[in-house]
Amino acid sequence: MVQDLQGYLGRSNILPLSFYYKTSYTRQNEFWHNGYADRSNRSEVTVNNNEARAKGARITIMETYKVKFQRIGVYGHIDGIRYRIILDKFIPGYKIDADGQVFKTTVNYIDILSSALIAQTIRCIPNLGIIHAYLMEKNLRETGKRIGINAAQLQAYLTDADVTLERTEFHPGEEYTTADGEVCIHKFDGYTTNITDIVVAANAESIADRVINRIMLGGI
Protein backbone atom coordinates (compact mmCIF):
# COMPACT_ATOMS: atom_id res chain seq x y z
CA MET A 1 0.00 0.00 0.00
CA VAL A 2 1.13 3.51 -0.75
CA GLN A 3 1.17 6.46 1.56
CA ASP A 4 -0.27 9.49 -0.21
CA LEU A 5 1.43 12.23 1.84
CA GLN A 6 -0.90 15.15 1.24
CA GLY A 7 -1.48 16.68 4.65
CA TYR A 8 -0.12 17.96 7.92
CA LEU A 9 -3.20 18.84 10.01
CA GLY A 10 -2.80 18.27 13.74
CA ARG A 11 -5.23 15.76 15.21
CA SER A 12 -6.22 14.66 18.72
CA ASN A 13 -8.01 11.75 20.35
CA ILE A 14 -6.19 9.15 18.24
CA LEU A 15 -6.61 5.68 19.73
CA PRO A 16 -4.43 2.61 18.99
CA LEU A 17 -5.48 0.69 15.89
CA SER A 18 -5.93 -2.40 18.07
CA PHE A 19 -9.13 -0.82 19.44
CA TYR A 20 -10.81 -0.84 16.05
CA TYR A 21 -13.23 -3.34 14.59
CA LYS A 22 -14.59 -3.22 11.06
CA THR A 23 -18.07 -2.88 9.68
CA SER A 24 -18.92 -2.31 6.01
CA TYR A 25 -21.60 -0.48 4.08
CA THR A 26 -22.07 0.92 0.58
CA ARG A 27 -22.90 4.54 -0.12
CA GLN A 28 -22.54 7.10 -2.86
CA ASN A 29 -18.94 8.21 -3.23
CA GLU A 30 -19.13 11.75 -1.95
CA PHE A 31 -16.55 13.81 -0.16
CA TRP A 32 -17.74 13.41 3.41
CA HIS A 33 -21.19 14.95 3.20
CA ASN A 34 -20.50 18.06 1.13
CA GLY A 35 -21.23 16.64 -2.30
CA TYR A 36 -17.86 17.54 -3.85
CA ALA A 37 -17.11 14.21 -5.47
CA ASP A 38 -18.86 12.56 -8.41
CA ARG A 39 -22.01 11.05 -6.91
CA SER A 40 -22.39 8.65 -9.83
CA ASN A 41 -19.20 6.88 -8.80
CA ARG A 42 -20.35 4.31 -6.23
CA SER A 43 -17.88 3.11 -3.64
CA GLU A 44 -17.54 0.37 -1.07
CA VAL A 45 -16.77 1.94 2.28
CA THR A 46 -15.29 0.21 5.31
CA VAL A 47 -15.62 2.01 8.64
CA ASN A 48 -13.21 1.09 11.44
CA ASN A 49 -15.16 1.86 14.60
CA ASN A 50 -14.63 1.03 18.29
CA GLU A 51 -16.29 1.06 21.66
CA ALA A 52 -14.55 4.31 22.54
CA ARG A 53 -16.24 6.25 19.74
CA ALA A 54 -18.31 8.12 22.29
CA LYS A 55 -15.06 9.45 23.77
CA GLY A 56 -14.14 11.18 20.53
CA ALA A 57 -12.19 8.46 18.73
CA ARG A 58 -11.54 9.07 15.05
CA ILE A 59 -13.24 6.88 12.44
CA THR A 60 -11.07 5.48 9.67
CA ILE A 61 -12.86 5.09 6.33
CA MET A 62 -11.70 3.02 3.36
CA GLU A 63 -13.36 3.97 0.10
CA THR A 64 -13.11 2.39 -3.34
CA TYR A 65 -13.00 4.67 -6.38
CA LYS A 66 -13.44 3.80 -10.06
CA VAL A 67 -11.26 6.16 -12.11
CA LYS A 68 -9.35 6.44 -15.37
CA PHE A 69 -5.62 7.17 -15.51
CA GLN A 70 -4.96 10.10 -17.84
CA ARG A 71 -1.24 10.78 -17.55
CA ILE A 72 1.77 10.30 -15.27
CA GLY A 73 4.11 13.07 -14.09
CA VAL A 74 7.45 12.61 -12.32
CA TYR A 75 8.95 14.57 -9.42
CA GLY A 76 11.58 14.10 -6.72
CA HIS A 77 10.74 13.52 -3.05
CA ILE A 78 12.76 12.92 0.11
CA ASP A 79 11.95 9.21 -0.07
CA GLY A 80 12.72 8.81 -3.78
CA ILE A 81 11.15 9.42 -7.16
CA ARG A 82 7.39 9.84 -7.05
CA TYR A 83 4.80 9.66 -9.79
CA ARG A 84 1.76 11.94 -9.88
CA ILE A 85 -1.07 10.20 -11.69
CA ILE A 86 -3.73 12.51 -13.11
CA LEU A 87 -7.24 11.09 -12.87
CA ASP A 88 -10.41 11.75 -14.83
CA LYS A 89 -12.37 12.74 -11.70
CA PHE A 90 -11.90 14.25 -8.26
CA ILE A 91 -11.46 12.24 -5.06
CA PRO A 92 -10.88 13.32 -1.42
CA GLY A 93 -7.37 14.58 -0.68
CA TYR A 94 -5.27 17.29 0.96
CA LYS A 95 -3.71 20.45 -0.45
CA ILE A 96 -1.46 23.21 0.91
CA ASP A 97 -2.54 26.81 0.33
CA ALA A 98 -0.33 29.85 -0.37
CA ASP A 99 0.15 30.41 3.37
CA GLY A 100 1.35 26.88 3.97
CA GLN A 101 -1.89 25.78 5.60
CA VAL A 102 -3.11 22.28 4.83
CA PHE A 103 -6.78 21.77 4.13
CA LYS A 104 -8.95 18.87 3.11
CA THR A 105 -10.53 19.14 -0.31
CA THR A 106 -10.84 17.06 -3.47
CA VAL A 107 -7.99 16.37 -5.91
CA ASN A 108 -7.77 14.85 -9.37
CA TYR A 109 -4.49 13.03 -8.79
CA ILE A 110 -2.68 10.56 -6.58
CA ASP A 111 1.00 10.70 -5.60
CA ILE A 112 2.78 7.36 -5.45
CA LEU A 113 6.32 6.00 -5.24
CA SER A 114 7.53 4.74 -8.61
CA SER A 115 8.38 1.33 -7.13
CA ALA A 116 4.91 1.06 -5.60
CA LEU A 117 3.11 1.89 -8.84
CA ILE A 118 5.20 -0.66 -10.73
CA ALA A 119 4.59 -3.36 -8.10
CA GLN A 120 0.86 -2.73 -7.88
CA THR A 121 0.48 -2.58 -11.66
CA ILE A 122 2.33 -5.88 -12.11
CA ARG A 123 0.15 -7.46 -9.42
CA CYS A 124 -2.91 -6.53 -11.49
CA ILE A 125 -1.33 -7.22 -14.90
CA PRO A 126 1.22 -10.06 -14.68
CA ASN A 127 2.28 -9.71 -18.35
CA LEU A 128 3.76 -6.32 -17.53
CA GLY A 129 6.03 -8.12 -15.06
CA ILE A 130 7.65 -9.97 -17.98
CA ILE A 131 8.66 -6.67 -19.57
CA HIS A 132 9.83 -5.22 -16.25
CA ALA A 133 11.94 -8.30 -15.43
CA TYR A 134 13.51 -8.25 -18.90
CA LEU A 135 14.47 -4.58 -18.61
CA MET A 136 15.83 -5.07 -15.09
CA GLU A 137 18.14 -7.90 -16.18
CA LYS A 138 19.18 -6.14 -19.38
CA ASN A 139 20.14 -2.96 -17.53
CA LEU A 140 21.91 -4.88 -14.76
CA ARG A 141 24.04 -6.67 -17.33
CA GLU A 142 24.79 -3.52 -19.33
CA THR A 143 25.06 -0.81 -16.67
CA GLY A 144 25.02 -2.56 -13.30
CA LYS A 145 21.85 -0.62 -12.36
CA ARG A 146 18.46 -2.07 -11.48
CA ILE A 147 16.32 -0.09 -13.91
CA GLY A 148 13.06 -1.56 -15.12
CA ILE A 149 9.96 -0.06 -16.67
CA ASN A 150 9.74 3.74 -16.42
CA ALA A 151 7.07 6.44 -16.29
CA ALA A 152 6.87 6.95 -20.06
CA GLN A 153 6.40 3.23 -20.65
CA LEU A 154 3.80 3.02 -17.89
CA GLN A 155 1.95 5.99 -19.35
CA ALA A 156 1.86 4.36 -22.79
CA TYR A 157 0.37 1.27 -21.17
CA LEU A 158 -1.96 2.81 -18.56
CA THR A 159 -3.43 5.84 -20.34
CA ASP A 160 -7.24 5.54 -20.34
CA ALA A 161 -7.09 2.40 -18.19
CA ASP A 162 -10.05 1.79 -15.88
CA VAL A 163 -8.55 1.56 -12.40
CA THR A 164 -9.98 0.65 -9.00
CA LEU A 165 -8.39 2.49 -6.07
CA GLU A 166 -8.76 1.75 -2.37
CA ARG A 167 -8.12 4.88 -0.31
CA THR A 168 -7.81 4.93 3.48
CA GLU A 169 -7.34 8.17 5.37
CA PHE A 170 -4.75 8.24 8.15
CA HIS A 171 -3.95 10.71 10.92
CA PRO A 172 -1.06 11.61 13.24
CA GLY A 173 -0.36 9.03 15.91
CA GLU A 174 -1.72 6.06 13.96
CA GLU A 175 0.55 3.10 13.21
CA TYR A 176 1.46 1.75 9.79
CA THR A 177 3.81 -0.96 8.56
CA THR A 178 6.34 -0.32 5.79
CA ALA A 179 7.10 -2.73 2.95
CA ASP A 180 10.12 -3.86 4.99
CA GLY A 181 7.92 -4.79 7.95
CA GLU A 182 8.90 -1.81 10.10
CA VAL A 183 6.13 -0.39 12.29
CA CYS A 184 6.05 3.42 12.15
CA ILE A 185 3.80 6.23 13.36
CA HIS A 186 2.11 8.71 11.04
CA LYS A 187 3.18 12.28 11.74
CA PHE A 188 0.54 13.97 9.59
CA ASP A 189 -2.73 13.45 7.74
CA GLY A 190 -2.92 11.78 4.38
CA TYR A 191 -4.20 8.83 2.41
CA THR A 192 -2.96 5.31 1.80
CA THR A 193 -3.70 4.25 -1.78
CA ASN A 194 -3.87 0.70 -3.06
CA ILE A 195 -4.55 -0.22 -6.71
CA THR A 196 -6.71 -3.34 -6.71
CA ASP A 197 -7.73 -3.70 -10.36
CA ILE A 198 -6.67 -2.37 -13.77
CA VAL A 199 -8.44 -2.84 -17.09
CA VAL A 200 -6.27 -1.38 -19.85
CA ALA A 201 -7.42 -0.05 -23.20
CA ALA A 202 -7.33 -2.41 -26.20
CA ASN A 203 -4.33 -0.67 -27.78
CA ALA A 204 -2.34 -1.12 -24.55
CA GLU A 205 -2.87 -4.88 -24.65
CA SER A 206 -1.52 -5.00 -28.21
CA ILE A 207 1.55 -2.96 -27.18
CA ALA A 208 2.39 -5.41 -24.39
CA ASP A 209 1.83 -8.42 -26.66
CA ARG A 210 4.20 -7.04 -29.31
CA VAL A 211 6.91 -6.25 -26.76
CA ILE A 212 6.66 -9.70 -25.15
CA ASN A 213 6.83 -11.37 -28.58
CA ARG A 214 10.03 -9.46 -29.33
CA ILE A 215 11.50 -10.51 -25.98
CA MET A 216 10.71 -14.16 -26.66
CA LEU A 217 12.24 -13.95 -30.15
CA GLY A 218 15.59 -12.69 -28.93
CA GLY A 219 15.23 -9.39 -27.15
CA ILE A 220 14.58 -5.74 -27.82
Number of structural domains in the chain? 1
Kindly report the pTM of this predicted structure: 0.70
pLDDT at 123 over 90: yes
Across 73-82, 95-104, 146-155, the highest mean pLDDT is recorded for: 146-155
Q: What is the largest CA-CA distance in the chain?
A: 65
Q: Minimum mean pLDDT among 12-21, 87-96, 176-185: which range? A: 12-21
Asked if 66 and 44 touch (Cβ cutoff 8 Å), the reply is no
Alpha-carbon span 152 to 1, nearest angstrom: 22
pLDDT in tens, 162-200: 999 999 998 878 888 887 889 999 877 888 899 999 999
Q: Supply the range of the domain harboring residue 106.
A: 2-216
Based on the number of CB atoms within 10 Å of its own CB, is 92 exposed (0-12), middle (13-18) or buried (19 or more)?
Answer: buried
By the 10 Å C-beta count (0-12 exposed, 13-18 middle, 19+ buried), 131 is classed as buried
Instruction: Supply the pLDDT for residue 166.
Output: 96
* 3-class state of residue 75 by DSSP: strand
Over residues 39-46, the mean pLDDT reads: 41
Rounded mean pLDDT of 149-154? 94
| Measured distance CA(178)–CA(185) in Å, rounded | 10
Distance CA 107, CA 130 (A): 33
Percent of the chain with pLDDT over 90: 45
In whole numbers, what is the pLDDT of the chain averaged over residues?
A: 76
Using the predicted structure, report yes or no on whether residue 47 has a pLDDT greater than 50.
no
Can you give the pLDDT at residue 7? 35
**Residue 42 Cα to chain centre, angstroms:** 18
